[in-house]
Structure 1
């Protein structure tokens, strides 16, 4: 048995798998609100308790926080033996330890191994875990933004993911497999690419000492773009202002923009998609991602219609003399929201296979 986790600032997804060689469905899977707990150990203590019998589970919503309705509970009489565990964590992982970016948690692989008696525990950056998950996804779990052209020989893929924050990673072909390189590229300096974006940068510099790409390419970033337009164009409808005030701001803005209900929301999505395309293109150039650029995170699937309308691709390919090169790069959106969890499980299964008998 292996244990996998995707540790985010909002939610923590955990799962148990009987994963040996290839991808399988989880034996048990559960989602927790991260901020309800002081440390990851508290979440694991609750998750690893023997689950309730399936007959007592009433929920029919597989995304509801709690044990899912399709669980296959492990009999209480059988001791749970975990051979290896891997967790994707939102933050930089150094020496198998991470101080999470958007949570007051310190996660240590060595401490988790000792407390839960797991022989092998590995921590990955959350985008590193997503990259490993990318390698086990099925073709029907992607949406295409640009078909591009596959190179004759494998070389490199790039991964960029906007969600609560912005993550970036690369997958480099080494001998016979893709090797994942993690990064904190989302915290690089925001580089405006138009007069309007220059004004946006000036606006944000009044609030932050350092304006990174994450400040504009994330859920909070979409709202920051909207507030810049609101403060400069003075065209915010009263009804939209009220919905944003009482609801989830980025979600409200996205919905109003996608439905064409408010011009300011449409303008915010236009700017967001253009900046997303430009930075995805920057990452593609830096890594020479001829094997494809992949968009992960929670935002891209929700804004798929906007990303497919040409705004993203125009910004992506707008690299002067390299426009033709950029046009040949495949671009796809990852539609499976459990990709990081699958990636952590894939790594945990490799650890289990490599462990001494």
Structure 2
């Protein structure tokens, strides 16, 4: 029995899986508001109590850097220690891993129906792969080809400096520098990042903010509201905020592709991309991805796919639980 978790800054997905004929089979899965719990122990304890199931192998994917079995969650006030968590839950062992590394593992549990292709490219069977996911935060990871196996690895690339393109994005950077000590890419490429872009357009008088929209943003989920009206083309300020967000997403995906020489493809995960798939299919995303000067011809050959399955990290965590138990090995040639 495998207990897997995908814990982000907004929500947490927990599930029990069984293994049948080398395939993972979901037994039960539940979602919780992660910011509604004092710590991860409390959240997992509630799930175990509700399901009345026991785990032989446990792996939890968390949004943040995992070092020596410990993680200070990026967007939650939690410090998570795998050893302490196992002791408090009376479990034999708990593995912690970065959520984007889990996403990378989970890709190999998906089928063609779980993807939407943005750029067909010329995929190399044994090429490196990049994974980028905007959600509550911005995660980035990679998969390298080594010793005839694909090996996913974590990074904290989402916290690298935001690199603006064009005069408007330079103005955006200058605006955000007055608000934050460090303007990372996550400050503009995440749920809150979309809100930051919107606030910039409003505060710098680029576009008017309708009174009804101001009231709606104050009362509800601002990023979702901005995205909704931007996708419908209903409100100029929302449309432009989403345009800038899409441009930055494409540019950062291109940056990751070059850093990893990701000839095996770029996968776009996270909770935001599937909701704005129509926008990502527009020419502006690919245009921003490709605009890398002398290396444009390299990027034109790189396949880009959007992951539509929101349980990918959960599947990856389950897979890694079995790997740590010696039941699965590192991903083979695919």
Give TM-score scaled by structure 2 length: 0.94
Task: Verify: 1:143 aligned to 2:116, yes or no.
Answer: yes
* 1:22 alignment counterpart: 22
* 2:97 alignment counterpart: 124
* 2:136 alignment counterpart: 164
Task: Verify: 1:278 aligned to 2:241, yes or no.
Answer: no
1:23–1:346 contact (8 Å) kept in structure 2: no
* Secondary structure of the corresponding residue to residue 25 of structure 2: coil
Structure 1: distance between partners of 2:83 and 2:262: 35
Q: How does 1:171-190 map to 2 (within 5 A)?
A: 171-190=143-162
Task: Verify: 1:323 aligned to 2:323, yes or no.
Answer: no
Number of aligned pairs?
Answer: 327
1:254–1:265 contact (8 Å) kept in structure 2: yes
Deviations 1:207-258 (A, max 9, x none): 0111000000001101111111112214222222221121111111111111
How far apart are residue 24 of structure 1 and its match?
Answer: 2.8
How far apart are residue 114 of structure 1 and its match?
Answer: 2.3
Structure 2: distance between partners of 1:226 and 1:82: 45
**Bigger radius of gyration:** 1
Gaps of 5+ in 2: 329-334
- Aligned partner (choices 236, 241, 244) of residue 217 of structure 2: 244
* 2:331 alignment counterpart: none
Structure 2: distance between partners of 1:222 and 1:81: 40
* Secondary structure of the corresponding residue to residue 80 of structure 2: strand
* 2:169 alignment counterpart: 197
How far apart are residue 101 of structure 1 and its match?
Answer: 1.1
* Secondary structure of the corresponding residue to residue 113 of structure 2: helix
Q: How does 1:28-177 map to 2 (within 5 A)?
A: 28-49=28-49, 51=51, 80-151=53-124, 153-177=125-149
2:207–2:237 contact (8 Å) kept in structure 1: no
* Secondary structure of the corresponding residue to residue 19 of structure 2: coil
Kindly tell me: are residues 289 and 253 of structure 1, through their superposed partners in 2, closer, same or farther at Cα, counting changes over 3 Å? same
Deviations 1:176-215 (A, max 9, x none): 3211111110000001011110000011111011100000
Give TM-score scaled by structure 1 length: 0.88
Structure 1: distance between partners of 2:23 and 2:210: 48
Structure 2: distance between partners of 1:352 and 1:19: 13
* 1:217 alignment counterpart: 189
* 1:261 alignment counterpart: 234
Q: How does 1:6-21 map to 2 (within 5 A)?
A: 6-19=6-19
Task: Verify: 1:229 aligned to 2:215, yes or no.
Answer: no
1:156–1:289 contact (8 Å) kept in structure 2: yes
Structure 2: distance between partners of 1:136 and 1:220: 30
Kindly tell me: are residues 50 and 160 of structure 1, through their superposed partners in 2, closer, same or farther at Cα, counting changes over 3 Å? closer
Structure 1: distance between partners of 2:179 and 2:43: 35
Structure 2: distance between partners of 1:45 and 1:118: 11
1:19–1:345 contact (8 Å) kept in structure 2: no
CA RMSD of aligned residues (A): 1.5
How far apart are residue 341 of structure 1 and its match?
Answer: 0.5
